[in-house]
Structure 1
Protein backbone atom coordinates (compact mmCIF):
# COMPACT_ATOMS: atom_id res chain seq x y z
CA UNK A 1 0.00 0.00 0.00
CA UNK A 2 1.38 3.41 -0.92
CA UNK A 3 1.44 6.57 1.20
CA UNK A 4 -2.07 7.55 0.03
CA UNK A 5 -3.53 4.28 1.28
CA UNK A 6 -3.93 2.79 -2.18
CA UNK A 7 -2.68 -0.45 -3.62
CA UNK A 8 -0.68 -0.98 -6.79
CA UNK A 9 0.97 -3.89 -8.61
CA UNK A 10 3.92 -3.90 -6.18
CA UNK A 11 1.46 -5.09 -3.53
CA UNK A 12 0.52 -8.28 -5.44
CA UNK A 13 3.01 -10.49 -3.53
CA UNK A 14 1.19 -9.60 -0.27
CA UNK A 15 -2.21 -10.91 -1.44
CA UNK A 16 -3.02 -13.75 1.00
CA UNK A 17 -3.87 -17.28 -0.14
CA UNK A 18 -6.49 -17.63 2.59
CA UNK A 19 -8.92 -15.04 3.91
CA UNK A 20 -9.47 -14.32 7.56
CA UNK A 21 -12.48 -12.32 8.70
CA UNK A 22 -11.50 -8.80 9.72
CA UNK A 23 -14.33 -7.98 12.12
CA UNK A 24 -14.11 -4.31 13.10
CA UNK A 25 -14.86 -3.09 16.61
CA UNK A 26 -17.94 -1.24 15.35
CA UNK A 27 -20.57 -3.54 13.81
CA UNK A 28 -23.73 -1.72 14.95
CA UNK A 29 -24.94 1.88 14.66
CA UNK A 30 -27.53 2.37 17.35
CA UNK A 31 -30.30 4.97 17.15
CA UNK A 32 -29.55 5.97 13.56
CA UNK A 33 -32.43 8.47 13.46
CA UNK A 34 -31.23 10.06 16.70
CA UNK A 35 -27.96 11.25 15.15
CA UNK A 36 -27.07 14.80 14.26
CA UNK A 37 -26.92 14.97 10.48
CA UNK A 38 -28.37 18.50 10.29
CA UNK A 39 -25.66 19.91 8.00
CA UNK A 40 -25.96 17.03 5.53
CA UNK A 41 -29.77 17.25 5.60
CA UNK A 42 -29.62 21.01 4.99
CA UNK A 43 -27.32 20.48 2.02
CA UNK A 44 -29.72 17.88 0.58
CA UNK A 45 -32.74 20.05 1.48
CA UNK A 46 -34.60 17.17 3.14
CA UNK A 47 -33.95 14.97 6.20
CA UNK A 48 -31.20 12.36 5.71
CA UNK A 49 -29.68 10.23 8.49
CA UNK A 50 -26.26 8.77 7.75
CA UNK A 51 -25.67 5.18 8.81
CA UNK A 52 -22.17 5.03 10.27
CA UNK A 53 -20.85 1.52 9.66
CA UNK A 54 -17.38 0.57 8.38
CA UNK A 55 -18.37 -0.73 4.94
CA UNK A 56 -15.77 -0.10 2.24
CA UNK A 57 -18.17 -0.78 -0.63
CA UNK A 58 -21.75 0.18 0.36
CA UNK A 59 -23.39 3.10 2.12
CA UNK A 60 -26.81 3.34 3.71
CA UNK A 61 -28.90 6.38 4.55
CA UNK A 62 -32.39 6.84 5.96
CA UNK A 63 -34.14 9.69 4.18
CA UNK A 64 -37.42 11.44 4.40
CA UNK A 65 -39.66 13.90 2.68
CA UNK A 66 -42.37 15.96 4.38
CA UNK A 67 -45.79 16.12 2.69
CA UNK A 68 -45.44 18.15 -0.51
CA UNK A 69 -41.64 18.25 -0.27
CA UNK A 70 -39.31 17.33 -3.16
CA UNK A 71 -35.64 16.54 -3.25
CA UNK A 72 -33.25 18.47 -5.45
CA UNK A 73 -32.74 17.26 -9.01
CA UNK A 74 -29.33 15.58 -9.05
CA UNK A 75 -27.25 12.75 -10.47
CA UNK A 76 -24.21 10.73 -9.43
CA UNK A 77 -21.98 8.04 -10.86
CA UNK A 78 -22.94 5.44 -8.25
CA UNK A 79 -25.98 3.18 -8.24
CA UNK A 80 -28.75 3.57 -5.69
CA UNK A 81 -31.35 1.13 -4.41
CA UNK A 82 -34.20 2.75 -2.48
CA UNK A 83 -36.73 0.94 -0.28
CA UNK A 84 -39.74 3.02 0.78
CA UNK A 85 -40.71 2.30 4.39
CA UNK A 86 -43.54 4.84 4.78
CA UNK A 87 -45.64 7.22 2.74
CA UNK A 88 -46.20 7.66 -0.97
CA UNK A 89 -44.89 9.85 -3.73
CA UNK A 90 -43.13 9.92 -7.08
CA UNK A 91 -39.65 9.75 -8.50
CA UNK A 92 -38.34 11.08 -11.75
CA UNK A 93 -35.50 8.83 -12.90
CA UNK A 94 -34.16 9.86 -16.28
CA UNK A 95 -37.18 10.09 -18.58
CA UNK A 96 -39.32 7.89 -16.30
CA UNK A 97 -41.75 9.15 -13.69
CA UNK A 98 -42.87 6.44 -11.28
CA UNK A 99 -45.35 6.54 -8.42
CA UNK A 100 -44.35 4.68 -5.26
CA UNK A 101 -45.66 3.81 -1.81
CA UNK A 102 -44.46 2.03 1.32
CA UNK A 103 -43.17 -1.42 0.43
CA UNK A 104 -41.89 -0.44 -3.03
CA UNK A 105 -38.25 -0.48 -4.13
CA UNK A 106 -36.64 1.77 -6.73
CA UNK A 107 -33.46 1.59 -8.79
CA UNK A 108 -31.51 4.72 -9.75
CA UNK A 109 -28.86 3.93 -12.38
CA UNK A 110 -25.47 5.56 -12.72
CA UNK A 111 -25.52 9.22 -13.88
CA UNK A 112 -29.32 9.39 -14.37
CA UNK A 113 -30.89 12.69 -13.34
CA UNK A 114 -33.38 11.98 -10.57
CA UNK A 115 -35.66 13.67 -8.07
CA UNK A 116 -38.20 12.46 -5.52
CA UNK A 117 -41.43 13.99 -4.20
CA UNK A 118 -43.94 13.22 -1.46
CA UNK A 119 -47.58 13.30 -2.60
CA UNK A 120 -49.05 11.96 0.63
CA UNK A 121 -50.33 13.61 3.79
CA UNK A 122 -47.70 11.93 6.01
CA UNK A 123 -43.92 11.85 6.02
CA UNK A 124 -42.37 9.56 3.44
CA UNK A 125 -39.31 7.64 4.62
CA UNK A 126 -36.89 5.39 2.76
CA UNK A 127 -33.67 3.43 3.08
CA UNK A 128 -31.11 4.14 0.34
CA UNK A 129 -28.11 1.91 -0.33
CA UNK A 130 -25.37 3.04 -2.70
CA UNK A 131 -21.98 1.87 -3.89
CA UNK A 132 -20.51 5.35 -3.35
CA UNK A 133 -17.82 4.22 -0.86
CA UNK A 134 -16.38 1.86 -3.48
CA UNK A 135 -16.01 4.71 -5.96
CA UNK A 136 -14.79 7.10 -3.25
CA UNK A 137 -11.98 4.66 -2.41
CA UNK A 138 -10.79 5.00 -6.02
CA UNK A 139 -11.22 8.78 -5.94
CA UNK A 140 -13.81 8.74 -8.73
CA UNK A 141 -17.17 9.33 -6.99
CA UNK A 142 -19.07 12.24 -8.57
CA UNK A 143 -22.32 14.05 -7.72
CA UNK A 144 -23.91 16.94 -9.57
CA UNK A 145 -26.84 19.10 -8.46
CA UNK A 146 -29.04 20.80 -11.07
CA UNK A 147 -29.39 24.55 -10.80
CA UNK A 148 -32.52 25.59 -8.91
CA UNK A 149 -34.18 27.00 -12.01
CA UNK A 150 -32.91 24.22 -14.27
CA UNK A 151 -35.32 21.57 -15.52
CA UNK A 152 -34.24 18.44 -17.30
Structure 2
Protein backbone atom coordinates (compact mmCIF):
# COMPACT_ATOMS: atom_id res chain seq x y z
CA UNK A 1 0.00 0.00 0.00
CA UNK A 2 1.31 3.42 -0.94
CA UNK A 3 0.13 6.56 0.82
CA UNK A 4 0.06 10.15 -0.39
CA UNK A 5 1.03 12.68 2.28
CA UNK A 6 2.54 16.13 2.72
CA UNK A 7 6.31 16.18 2.49
CA UNK A 8 8.47 16.42 5.60
CA UNK A 9 12.07 17.53 6.10
CA UNK A 10 13.39 13.98 5.83
CA UNK A 11 11.84 13.73 2.33
CA UNK A 12 13.76 16.62 0.76
CA UNK A 13 16.75 14.60 -0.44
CA UNK A 14 14.52 11.89 -1.92
CA UNK A 15 12.40 14.52 -3.70
CA UNK A 16 15.52 16.18 -5.11
CA UNK A 17 16.88 12.82 -6.28
CA UNK A 18 13.60 11.77 -7.95
CA UNK A 19 13.34 15.09 -9.79
CA UNK A 20 17.02 15.03 -10.78
CA UNK A 21 16.68 11.51 -12.23
CA UNK A 22 13.60 12.55 -14.23
CA UNK A 23 15.28 15.60 -15.76
CA UNK A 24 17.62 13.24 -17.63
CA UNK A 25 14.79 12.21 -19.95
CA UNK A 26 13.08 15.63 -19.94
CA UNK A 27 10.11 14.46 -17.85
CA UNK A 28 10.35 17.54 -15.60
CA UNK A 29 12.44 20.66 -15.31
CA UNK A 30 15.39 20.61 -12.93
CA UNK A 31 15.09 21.93 -9.38
CA UNK A 32 18.03 22.69 -7.17
CA UNK A 33 18.33 21.12 -3.75
CA UNK A 34 17.87 24.62 -2.29
CA UNK A 35 14.64 25.06 -4.28
CA UNK A 36 13.28 21.77 -2.94
CA UNK A 37 14.03 22.83 0.63
CA UNK A 38 12.64 26.35 0.05
CA UNK A 39 9.39 24.95 -1.35
CA UNK A 40 9.10 21.79 0.73
CA UNK A 41 5.67 22.83 2.04
CA UNK A 42 4.38 22.78 -1.55
CA UNK A 43 5.14 19.07 -1.99
CA UNK A 44 3.18 15.89 -1.56
CA UNK A 45 5.01 12.56 -1.67
CA UNK A 46 4.01 9.01 -2.39
CA UNK A 47 5.43 6.70 0.27
CA UNK A 48 5.55 2.90 0.29
CA UNK A 49 4.90 0.70 3.33
CA UNK A 50 8.64 0.45 3.93
CA UNK A 51 9.00 4.25 4.05
CA UNK A 52 10.47 4.74 0.58
CA UNK A 53 9.48 7.90 -1.32
CA UNK A 54 8.55 6.84 -4.86
CA UNK A 55 6.93 10.01 -6.18
CA UNK A 56 6.41 13.70 -5.62
CA UNK A 57 4.18 16.52 -6.79
CA UNK A 58 3.94 20.18 -5.76
CA UNK A 59 1.19 22.80 -5.65
CA UNK A 60 2.66 26.29 -6.03
CA UNK A 61 0.47 29.36 -5.51
CA UNK A 62 1.11 31.68 -8.46
CA UNK A 63 -1.27 34.59 -8.24
CA UNK A 64 -4.66 35.62 -6.94
CA UNK A 65 -6.83 32.51 -7.19
CA UNK A 66 -4.29 30.67 -9.39
CA UNK A 67 -1.94 27.80 -8.55
CA UNK A 68 0.33 25.47 -10.50
CA UNK A 69 0.82 21.73 -10.22
CA UNK A 70 4.53 21.16 -10.81
CA UNK A 71 7.35 18.67 -10.38
CA UNK A 72 5.03 15.66 -10.67
CA UNK A 73 7.22 12.56 -10.88
CA UNK A 74 6.79 8.87 -10.13
CA UNK A 75 9.84 6.61 -10.26
CA UNK A 76 9.83 4.34 -13.35
CA UNK A 77 9.13 1.06 -11.54
CA UNK A 78 5.99 2.53 -9.90
CA UNK A 79 4.48 4.17 -13.00
CA UNK A 80 1.09 2.92 -14.10
CA UNK A 81 -0.14 2.44 -10.54
CA UNK A 82 -2.08 5.76 -10.43
CA UNK A 83 0.30 7.33 -7.91
CA UNK A 84 0.67 10.37 -10.16
CA UNK A 85 -3.07 10.76 -10.39
CA UNK A 86 -3.46 10.43 -6.63
CA UNK A 87 -0.78 13.07 -5.99
CA UNK A 88 -2.42 15.46 -8.46
CA UNK A 89 -5.76 14.84 -6.72
CA UNK A 90 -4.12 15.75 -3.39
CA UNK A 91 -2.82 18.99 -4.92
CA UNK A 92 -6.27 19.81 -6.35
CA UNK A 93 -7.91 19.17 -2.98
CA UNK A 94 -5.39 21.42 -1.27
CA UNK A 95 -6.08 24.11 -3.88
CA UNK A 96 -9.81 23.85 -3.14
CA UNK A 97 -9.13 24.04 0.60
CA UNK A 98 -7.10 27.22 0.03
CA UNK A 99 -9.83 28.84 -2.08
CA UNK A 100 -7.90 28.66 -5.35
CA UNK A 101 -10.14 29.16 -8.42
CA UNK A 102 -7.93 27.68 -11.15
CA UNK A 103 -5.00 25.29 -11.29
CA UNK A 104 -2.69 25.06 -14.27
CA UNK A 105 0.15 22.87 -15.42
CA UNK A 106 2.84 23.15 -18.08
CA UNK A 107 3.45 19.64 -19.33
CA UNK A 108 4.65 17.28 -22.01
CA UNK A 109 2.22 14.57 -20.90
CA UNK A 110 -1.06 16.08 -22.09
CA UNK A 111 -3.04 12.81 -22.00
CA UNK A 112 -2.23 12.21 -18.32
CA UNK A 113 -3.40 15.66 -17.23
CA UNK A 114 -6.44 15.54 -19.52
CA UNK A 115 -7.46 12.36 -17.67
CA UNK A 116 -7.18 14.35 -14.42
CA UNK A 117 -9.60 17.00 -15.75
CA UNK A 118 -7.23 19.63 -17.17
CA UNK A 119 -7.89 21.21 -20.59
CA UNK A 120 -5.43 22.80 -22.99
CA UNK A 121 -5.31 26.58 -22.79
CA UNK A 122 -3.39 29.47 -24.31
CA UNK A 123 -0.16 30.41 -22.52
CA UNK A 124 -0.94 34.05 -23.08
CA UNK A 125 -3.93 33.99 -20.71
CA UNK A 126 -1.74 33.10 -17.74
CA UNK A 127 -0.55 36.16 -15.78
CA UNK A 128 2.91 37.61 -16.33
CA UNK A 129 3.79 36.58 -12.77
CA UNK A 130 3.54 32.94 -13.88
CA UNK A 131 6.28 33.47 -16.46
CA UNK A 132 8.74 34.79 -13.86
CA UNK A 133 9.92 31.19 -13.46
CA UNK A 134 10.08 30.65 -17.22
CA UNK A 135 12.80 33.25 -17.75
CA UNK A 136 15.17 31.04 -15.74
CA UNK A 137 14.24 27.84 -17.55
CA UNK A 138 16.82 26.22 -19.84
CA UNK A 139 14.09 25.84 -22.50
CA UNK A 140 13.19 29.55 -22.56
CA UNK A 141 12.03 30.96 -24.97
CA UNK A 142 11.60 27.77 -27.00
CA UNK A 143 9.32 26.01 -24.53
CA UNK A 144 7.59 22.93 -25.85
CA UNK A 145 5.39 22.39 -22.82
CA UNK A 146 1.62 22.43 -23.21
CA UNK A 147 -0.33 24.78 -20.90
CA UNK A 148 -3.40 23.15 -19.36
CA UNK A 149 -5.86 24.49 -16.83
CA UNK A 150 -8.60 23.27 -14.51
CA UNK A 151 -11.32 25.50 -13.12
CA UNK A 152 -12.30 24.56 -9.57
TM-score using structure 2 length: 0.31
Which has the larger Rg? 1
From the two aligned structures, give the one with the greater strand fraction: 1
From the two aligned structures, give the one with the greater helix fraction: 2
Considering Cα pairs closer than 8 Å and 6+ residues apart, tell me whether 1 or 2 has the greater RCO: 1
TM-score using structure 1 length: 0.31
